[in-house]
Amino acid sequence: MSKFYPVAVPAFLGNEKKYVNNCIDSSWISSNGEYINLFESAFAEFNDIKYALTCCNGTVALHLALMAMGVQTGDEVIVPSFTYIATANAVRYCGAKPVFADCLSDTWNLDPADFERKITPRTKCVIPVHLYGNPCDMRSIADIARKHNILILEDAAESHGAAYDGKKVGTLSDIGVFSFFGNKIITTGEGGMIVTDNDNYADLMKRLKGQGMDPNRRYWFNMIGYNYRMTNIEAAIGLAQLENIDEHIQKRRNVAEIYIHELEQYQDYITFQKTTRNAENVWWMFSLLLNKPFKLSRDELMLRLHEDNIETRPLFYPMHVMPPYEDKTAQCPVSEDIASRGVNLPTHGMLSKDDIKYICRKLIKYIK
Ligand SMILES: *Cc1c(COP(=O)(O)O)cnc(C)c1O
């Protein structure tokens, strides 16, 4: 059988097995253990920020951050319509209402002008999402948020190590969150991390993720909390992944560079996601939009590539068209357009130059 090309494959380049075995040999397999502390402090250092808190996935990280910010029933939170559904769901978990803003047609990230348009007296927070590894225009977003007294929570679930104005994403606002799902830039299987410089937020999120236990009195609970903890085994994998994060990112950048080199002459037919000004993209997913003259529809292309053993994914459906969040008045035409004609191509560190050339050769066959 010929080779299959999945969209995403995790890469284990270092101490993953060794550290996991240490957990089992030492019997520290649950949510206490040295790897939790080591992973948190290494992640804080990598991002040059005071606090990094592990939790059991990226969705939970968003929920903890919103709770720490005091988001509750009656509040509105502005969320890009063009994102993964977890961003909107976490807002709902707090009883608040996600209000969808459109994205920009070049970077596919939150449109600052539409964010400002959708502010009401009930807007408490905005969640810019650094989509597919590409940082948002944080300067414009922060200016507007400051002017209207709105908190910023960065959803950096797809963009570990990406930077804007020389600072790592996730650290450009009040709180930032990351995911370590199996297909992300680095992985722990399932897992999440929250970063902040704010003492009060960090303290509250630590309590909330551990059932609300009083840090100074064991088994005394003074609030309703959650069990949102990461295990030591997951942290062991995370620490090993983080030790090689520069290499993980460099491999993705090489993949994107080769795709661009192979495909740039076809820009009448396809459009690439543009990296934001002053930003360093980590290319979680390399993606294309199919333009009018492209011979096949997006869905036909995906089927054909599948027959060539190449997996692709449609870009995210806009939030405001799906049943839980359907809103015919949302007005996010750019999100609808991009979602309808975009695909993610295989993007991960295990792809060789020949693999990418094969994928491009097949794709080019269907262009005209
Ligand atoms: C993956 C992802 C999440 C959620 O992370 P999980 O670890 O899967 O819960 C949130 N937001 C975005 C943009 C994501 O891509």
Provide the 8-state DSSP code for 18. H
Residue 153: CB within 6 Å of ligand 1?
Answer: no
What is the model's pLDDT at position 168? 98
Lookup: tokens for 324: 């839980």
Residue 84: CB within 6 Å of ligand 1?
Answer: yes
Q: Are 193 and 61 in contact (CB under 8 A)?
A: yes
Task: Provide DSSP, 241-266.
Answer: HHHTHHHHHHHHHHHHHHHHHHHGGG
Strands 270-272 and 151-155, sheet pairing:
unpaired
Residue 179: CB within 6 Å of ligand 1?
Answer: yes
CA distance linking residue 137 with residue 151, whole number of Å? 16
In the block, which residue shows the tokens 């994998």?
Answer: 237
Residue 99: CB within 6 Å of ligand 1?
Answer: no
Nearest CA to ligand 1 atom 10: 86
In the block, which residue shows the tokens 């449609």?
Answer: 314
Residue 136: CB within 6 Å of ligand 1?
Answer: no
Most ligand 1 atoms within 8 A of CB, residue of 84, 132, 153, 175 to mutate: 84
What's the half-sphere exposure (Cβ side, CA atoms, 13 Å) at 114?
24
Residue 266, pLDDT > 90, answer: yes
CA distance linking residue 316 with residue 121, whole number of Å? 29
CA distance linking residue 180 with residue 192, whole number of Å? 6
Q: Are 165 and 277 in contact (CB under 8 A)?
A: no
CA distance linking residue 34 with residue 325, whole number of Å? 41
CA distance linking residue 73 with residue 116, whole number of Å? 22
| CA pseudo-torsion sign 105, 110, 115, 116 | negative
CA distance linking residue 28 with residue 25, whole number of Å? 8
Tell which atom from ligand 1 comes closest to the C-alpha of 191: 7
Region 344-353: mean pLDDT is 96
Residue 54, pLDDT > 70, answer: yes
Residue 157: CB within 6 Å of ligand 1?
Answer: yes
Helix axes 34-47, 16-26, angle to 10 degrees: 150
Residue 324, pLDDT > 90, answer: yes
- At residue 239, φ and ψ (nearest 5 deg) are -65, -45
Residue 284: CB within 6 Å of ligand 1?
Answer: no
Gap from CA of 43 to ligand 1 centroid (Å)? 18
Closest of 142, 149, 357 to residue 259, by C-alpha:
357
Q: Are 78 and 99 in contact (CB under 8 A)?
A: yes
Residue 1, pLDDT > 70, answer: no
Query: What domains lie within the chain, and their CATH numbers?
Result: 16-243 (3.40.640.10), 245-367 (3.90.1150.10)
2 falls in which pLDDT band (50, 70, 90)? confident
Lookup: tokens for 173: 């606002």
Residue 47: CB within 6 Å of ligand 1?
Answer: no
Tell which atom from ligand 1 comes closest to the C-alpha of 183: 1
Residue 205, pLDDT > 80, answer: yes
CA distance linking residue 292 with residue 203, whole number of Å? 52
pLDDT in tens, 128-180: 999 999 999 999 999 999 999 999 999 999 999 999 999 999 999 999 999 99
Residue 64: CB within 6 Å of ligand 1?
Answer: no
CA distance linking residue 156 with residue 171, whole number of Å? 10
Q: What percent of the chain has a predicted confidence (pLDDT) above 90?
A: 99
Region 259-278: mean pLDDT is 97
Does the pTM surpass 0.95? The reply is yes
Tell which atom from ligand 1 comes closest to the C-alpha of 62: 10
Tell which atom from ligand 1 comes closest to the C-alpha of 83: 13
**Helix or strand run (H / E) with residue 64:** helix 58-68
In angstroms, what is the C-alpha Rg of the chain?
21
Task: Provide DSSP, 142-206.
Answer: HHHHHHHT-EEEEE-TT-TT-EETTEETTSSSSEEEEE-BTTSSS--BS-EEEEES-HHHHHHHH
